[in-house]
Structure 1
Amino acid sequence: MGDIIFLAHRMPFPPDRGDKIRSHHLLKFLAERGNVHVGCFADTDADMEAEDDLARMSKSHCLVRRTKPLVLAGAEAVISQLPVSLAAFHSRALERWVRDTVDTHEIEAIFVFSGQMGQYVPDDFTGRVIVDLCDVDSVKFEDYAKAGERVWLNGREGRLLAREEERLAHRANATILISESEKTILQGRLKNAAGTRLHAIGNGIDAEYFDPASVLPEGSMTERSGPHFVFTGQMDYRPNELASLWAIEHFLPEVRAYFPEAEYHVVGRNPTEALLAKNSIEGATIWGEVPDVRPFLKAADVAVTPLTIARGVQNKVLEAMAMELPVLLTPGAATGIDAQDGLHWMVEEADAKSMADRFRIIWSEPSKLSGMGRAARQFVLDNHSWDAVLNPLEDLLLMGGRQRHAA
């Protein structure tokens, strides 16, 4: 396989959040098959400190520290009539690097991870273009607007992102979505689907790392009676914040009516002020960023993931399942994972009483609860290893022959 440019909106190291985990494994897959030139953004000092890891996996790289204020990105977006998401990730330095890399190397393909990065594919590039949109982001912003959140701004973002998704679907030789449901959504939203090539490639999980036998439970949880519920994720991400607040305000009181010692644990970096205000109130603990999420999963009795705004496959769900932790989740959080309700997990609509009742029933059957955890891990082992998940990507990279951009 010839040289590949890999473009990602976030640094693929360290792989410690959903999108970075996926981009990390995609980059690893590509690097095992050829020379990869990586262009990406760094958001934090930890991202910058991982530059040596990036250099070891890439032939060359361009790492840009993202410092553009959101207000400036918004102003640029209004002037250019582009989505804020694109303006926020625009860099002239990265633009020049892509141009120079295309001109000085035999680049066979450009792999775009996340729609924000499609703006960097040169118009005159004649090699293959693979775009991994992951989710149909335009729908997420439309959902925000429908929920009454910054209606004009989110409505505009959804409308303009839909236009960019259409452009990329026609520009790419293959467009990847994270699940069949996301693929179907995008297919239905394209004004002209003729000639587009959409494919579903899901998320994998490192089941050797997320193995309950590899860690001890978090002691400060196990020393209290519980039952203990856990939610993990990036906690300044609005859908995660809303889900956790709902669980604390509605689900937890329903459960505590029967189990007064029940606790809900929110584990993940950058909890919002609204979440922090719930810390230590009536069974809620907001842990924030922790060195290792696995002890918290090991100590919990059930992962409760009541997402109402959800796009794509939820890594948090796969991680909990790999740790043999029973999962109680909403249909949105279950999207893209072909598990069976009642066997591998428990699916309920976001109704506090229904979810609490579902928990009470299974809590009264300890053998069934532990059996669900074991079945969940086996499901992940059988269906969500990264090798199995990414195997179809090889054909997409080579499909249609090798048309290299002439250096």
Structure 2
Amino acid sequence: MNRRLLFLAHRIPYPPEKGEKIRSWHMLSHLARDWEVELGCLVDDPADLDHLPFLRTVCARVEAPFVGSKRSSALRALLRARPGAPLSLGWFHDTGLATWVDEGLAARRYGAALAYSSAVAPYVMGDAARSIRRRVLDLVDVDSEKWRAYAADARLPMRYVWAREATTLLAFERRAAMEFDRAIFVSEEEARCFARLAPECADRLDHVDNGVDLSRFAAASRGESPFGNAPAIVFTGTMDYRPNVEAVTWFADAVLPRLRDRDPAPDFWIVGQNPSAAVRALADRPGVHVTGPVPDVRPYIGHAAVAVAPLLIARGIQNKVLEAMAMARPVVATPQAYEGVRASAGRDLLVADGAEETAARVAEVLDGRHPGLGDRARAAVMSGHDWGATLRRLDAILEGTG
């Protein structure tokens, strides 16, 4: 059997210690053990080009065109906008990458293909791509539902833009899922959600849960504390991503003031790259720290009194939750952030809905009222979110035996 795999990603995957493309990197590195992988991906950050030499040691071939800044990608998406088509397809289309894929298809180089996200699905759709024995589409989560949530509370004209993207992207997701042999999601809950929206696709859907690197995210790897004497409440993530921005803003507005009269008063640490202007402004408030990019996120997680995931819009499994649990830290999450996590609420982590309940659960952790919560958290992710175990399901799906 042809063991050459085409792996397509909308952004460059690289190890989590080098960035945050966690799921795509773990899939790529796992598959490269048994397949000759040809990687095609897009680069929109010049700093990412530094990772290409390393990726070429992992993959048989790498094609990674630089497509310019996010602003130029947005302009390209607008220029390529077509009636009924989602803007994201134009955003992530590159003629050079398409030509590279087409050449491989014409030469019948590939025994299998994995498209990581709907944005790169078009590269391996159509008659030529049907020569590939097995095509799998990782939709990760139901992205169209995220845009629908954005539209719900947006002002015009963005309400129209997000609503249009939700409708057109769902139509494309349905069409793509029917063309690929399997469409997979980050959790069983996401797969069920899509099945409700696209019942014709139900027999083609599967899921490969997100995992966590249990050796990297362990209490022993937390290093020196970056904090002072105040108890640290920590949120981690990419801080120009709208759900993260809304989460930390809500926590700073509605939750933290309920905790600041404690003695000692806790500090809220927002840890992650690319903080937006709205996030940077939060640092002007008492007890709020915005770090920007840090060399290693583990000291911030590992020395936190409590890790919070106050997401109001969330899809799939939150890596920030898994990583904090793996480092045996108490976690307080909203129901949205808890979805898909293979752990028991109240036993392995605390789930809170609303500002008053969130503040109460955080206060309980700070008061020491949940002893052993962190240890149970790590045990839960060891059982349910070990990458080695979760990716065996991907092997079976690609081989056509699962």
User: Common fold, TM-score beyond 0.5?
Assistant: yes
| Residue 189 (structure 2) aligns with | 181
Counterpart selection for 1:262 from 259, 262, 266: 266
The answer as to whether partners of 1:99 and 1:122 remain within 8 angstroms in 2 is: no
Cα displacement (A) at 1:18: 8.5
Cα displacement (A) at 1:269: 0.2
Other structure's SS at 1:42 match: coil
| Residue 217 (structure 2) aligns with | 210
The answer as to whether partners of 2:141 and 2:190 remain within 8 angstroms in 1 is: yes
The answer as to whether partners of 1:231 and 1:266 remain within 8 angstroms in 2 is: yes
AA at the equivalent of 1:121: V
Whole-angstrom CA distance in 2 between matches of 1:105 and 1:61? 17
Cα displacement (A) at 1:43: 2.3
Whole-angstrom CA distance in 1 between matches of 2:147 and 2:20? 18
AA at the equivalent of 2:334: T
Deviates more, 1:354-363 or 1:281-290: 354-363
| Residue 360 (structure 1) aligns with | 363
Deviates more, 1:27-36 or 1:319-328: 27-36
| Residue 83 (structure 1) aligns with | 86
Normalising to structure 1: TM-score of the pair?
0.92
AA at the equivalent of 1:375: R
The answer as to whether partners of 1:83 and 1:157 remain within 8 angstroms in 2 is: yes
Change (3 A) 1:44 1:16: farther
Change (3 A) 1:82 1:259: farther
Counterpart selection for 1:253 from 249, 257, 271: 257
Cα displacement (A) at 1:77: 4.1
| Residue 143 (structure 1) aligns with | 149
Counterpart selection for 2:164 from 156, 164, 167: 156
Counterpart selection for 1:199 from 188, 193, 206: 206
Other structure's SS at 2:42 match: strand
| Residue 405 (structure 1) aligns with | none
Counterpart selection for 1:112 from 106, 111, 115: 115
Whole-angstrom CA distance in 2 between matches of 1:356 and 1:99? 54
Structure 1 position 307 matched with structure 2 position 311 = yes
Counterpart selection for 2:176 from 151, 168, 177: 168
| Residue 129 (structure 1) aligns with | 135
Normalising to structure 2: TM-score of the pair?
0.93
AA at the equivalent of 1:372: L
- Residues 254-312 of structure 1, C-alpha deviations (whole Å, 9 max, x = no match): 11133462110000000010111111411100111000000111221001111010000
RMSD after superposition: 1.9
Number of residues paired by the alignment? 394
| Residue 102 (structure 1) aligns with | 105
Cα displacement (A) at 1:70: 4.2
1:4-15 pair list within 5 angstroms = 4-15=5-16
| Residue 32 (structure 1) aligns with | 33
The answer as to whether partners of 1:217 and 1:297 remain within 8 angstroms in 2 is: no
- Residues 141-180 of structure 1, C-alpha deviations (whole Å, 9 max, x = no match): 0000012252000001111110110011101101101011
The answer as to whether partners of 1:227 and 1:259 remain within 8 angstroms in 2 is: no
Whole-angstrom CA distance in 1 between matches of 2:263 and 2:68? 47
Other structure's SS at 2:16 match: coil
- Unmatched 5+ residue regions in structure 2? none
The answer as to whether partners of 2:81 and 2:90 remain within 8 angstroms in 1 is: no
- Residues 178-209 of structure 1, C-alpha deviations (whole Å, 9 max, x = no match): 01110011001116336x41001111111111
Cα displacement (A) at 1:359: 2.2
Change (3 A) 1:66 1:15: farther
Whole-angstrom CA distance in 2 between matches of 1:361 and 1:143? 31
Whole-angstrom CA distance in 1 between matches of 2:58 and 2:11? 16
Identity %: 36
- Unmatched 5+ residue regions in structure 1? 402-407
AA at the equivalent of 2:29: K
Whole-angstrom CA distance in 2 between matches of 1:383 and 1:115? 26
Cα displacement (A) at 1:385: 1.1
The answer as to whether partners of 2:191 and 2:205 remain within 8 angstroms in 1 is: yes
Cα displacement (A) at 1:215: 2.8
Cα displacement (A) at 1:28: 1.2
Other structure's SS at 1:230 match: strand
| Residue 373 (structure 1) aligns with | 374
Change (3 A) 1:17 1:254: farther
- Residues 26-78 of structure 1, C-alpha deviations (whole Å, 9 max, x = no match): 11121111211110011223310110111111111210112161442342343
- Which has the higher relative contact order, 1 or 2, with Cα contacts under 8 A spaced 6 or more apart? 1
AA at the equivalent of 1:98: V
The answer as to whether partners of 2:74 and 2:91 remain within 8 angstroms in 1 is: no
AA at the equivalent of 1:200: H
The answer as to whether partners of 1:14 and 1:50 remain within 8 angstroms in 2 is: no
Whole-angstrom CA distance in 2 between matches of 1:193 and 1:278? 44
The answer as to whether partners of 1:232 and 1:267 remain within 8 angstroms in 2 is: yes
Whole-angstrom CA distance in 1 between matches of 2:362 and 2:194? 35
